[in-house]
Structure 1
Amino acid sequence: MNLSCKFSTLLLGTALLSAPPLAAQSQSPVSAASVTQMEKAKNKLRALTGADIDFKLHPYSDDFYRLTLGNEHLLLSKDGNYLFSGRVIDVRNRVDHIAKIQQIANQQNMANIPYEQLLTYPANNEQYSITVFTDIDCPYCRKFHKELPALNQLGVTVHYVMIPRGRAGSPAYEKTAATLCAKRPNEAMDAAMRSTPTPTQNAACKHSLDTQVALARQFGFQSTPTILLPNGEALPGYVPAKELVARLEKL
């Protein structure tokens, strides 16, 4: 459920906060007192959302809980009085906490990625592995696809999660399904990224496109390309091969 529909009376924007860095946040044990405090915060939030909204609170820092609502991730103050979305900046440590809790959620969701069902472009000598949420009809996805030979040569294996622009039965969906159903899917993908027509008569095989679309929804990714790094960080948009490898080397 979209958060804005339920919390339309709240101002969920950028907040400037100072909080301990993430490295210190995830180490503190959950005490009985903190569980009681969490229940009090839950009750305050429940009074706002109503009983029909499913959310989860997780320990995060001395000042905040990490709130999960569907595929949205927010911060809730420990007293349950303040809810934060958008960009929440720790000025002292230069950390965007909303981006950080999204990264935590991505790390957890990465365990559910069925890599064996994805189109994979393996590196000759793998040093890194990334997952790219892509769309055959996306111009910047096609631009990124041209970087795959360079990425593979630089030791980066690329796994593709397909997000067609249309639902099942649409031309975009059927074209993507036909690509996955081809005898040589990687070659079909290369052709599709060059705008070469894909034979739609091969779109009726047993493919994993619905699983991939559901996976993108689980992560909350809609824009393409979105590059998911091994540490759970998500990079929206096209990134050149050399720049991407330089980013990976810093992880």
Structure 2
Amino acid sequence: MRTRLKGLLAALALVVSPVMVQAQSATPESVRESFEGRFPGIEAKEVRSTPFPGLFEVQVGMDLLYTNATADYVLQGALIDAKSRRDLTAERLEELSKVSFSSLPLELAVMQVKGDGSRKIAVFEDPNCGYCKRLHQTLKEVDNITVYTFLFPILSPDSTVKARDIWCAKDQAATWRAWMLDGKVPPEAVCDTPVDTVLALGRSLMVQGTPAIIFADGSRVNGALPLDALNQKLAAVKQ
């Protein structure tokens, strides 16, 4: 019996050893090549090793996948550190979504100031976005804030028209508020707009929906936060 067990362990060692060597010799670049070879047309934006031996993190757009050294298997889901109970995937996604607030081209945004304007957010919004309008109802209850709105028309051709009319209005902020809060259609106006530049900016920041709220510390929240959650977030952010 002992002899048979030794034989089995020896056989397992022969199988496992090449796999372990392969994992140890793999690099992020070699994993990227394997992954993109398995999935032609899908770009692995970044590949990193993880605390789990032989498991690599693959960033595709704003999604995270996990794969082995040769990209034979791919996992999607949360990677949890069982000792600390930390969601490593969520932490990494938060890190990836951060934006340098000071680098945003705020001159391309519609600016609204309430109170002393000391707290700042930037928001990518589509004029026809229902959740954006819900956010504006919430912002009515928030004081001492500056809101920079990047007009980001992605829902329909009418969104592009409204973005143009709002940007070209004599009073951008008032016209924007009147539409988002009261449904007052902006009068037709024509001028050069930064819409194409803002769309390119949003794509570069992986903005995939509206509203996308960027806080002064660079953190991002997708969706219309309720009032309590928005106030808590603003209070936690160092301006």
| TM-score, normalised with respect to structure 2 | 0.71
Question: Does 2:233 correspond to 1:222?
Answer: no
What one-letter code is carried by the residue in structure 2 that aligns with 1:226? A
- 1:104-130, Cα deviation, whole Å (9 max, x unpaired): 222257565321211122354344322
Residues of 2 paired with 1:97 and 1:123: CA distance? 37
Residues of 2 paired with 1:97 and 1:128: CA distance? 30
8 A contact 2:35–2:44 mirrored in 1: no
Q: How does 1:36-185 map to 2 (within 5 A)?
A: 37-50=27-40, 53-59=42-48, 61-63=50-52, 65-69=56-60, 71-77=61-67, 79-81=69-71, 82-108=73-99, 113-151=104-142, 153=143, 155-166=144-155, 170-185=157-172
| TM-aligned CA distance change 1:95 to 1:113, over 3 Å | farther
Q: Where do 5+ consecutive residues of structure 2 fail to align?
A: 1-23
Aligned-partner SS, 2:183: coil
Aligned-partner SS, 2:185: coil
Question: Does 2:232 correspond to 1:241?
Answer: no
8 A contact 1:132–1:158 mirrored in 2: yes
8 A contact 1:119–1:160 mirrored in 2: yes
- 1:184-240, Cα deviation, whole Å (9 max, x unpaired): 10011011112101112x1x3111112222233333333322323344443233223
Residues of 2 paired with 1:184 and 1:93: CA distance? 52
Residue of structure 2 equivalent to 1:191:
178
| TM-score, normalised with respect to structure 1 | 0.68
- Please tell me whether Structure 1 or Structure 2 has the larger radius of gyration of its CA atoms: 2
Q: Where do 5+ consecutive residues of structure 1 fail to align?
A: 1-33
Aligned-partner SS, 1:146: helix
| TM-aligned CA distance change 1:78 to 1:189, over 3 Å | same
8 A contact 1:134–1:226 mirrored in 2: yes
| TM-aligned CA distance change 1:199 to 1:103, over 3 Å | same
CA RMSD, aligned part only? 3.1
Residue of structure 2 equivalent to 1:18:
none
Residues of 2 paired with 1:56 and 1:139: CA distance? 32
Residues of 2 paired with 1:47 and 1:60: CA distance? 19
Residues of 2 paired with 1:186 and 1:118: CA distance? 10
| TM-aligned CA distance change 1:196 to 1:250, over 3 Å | same
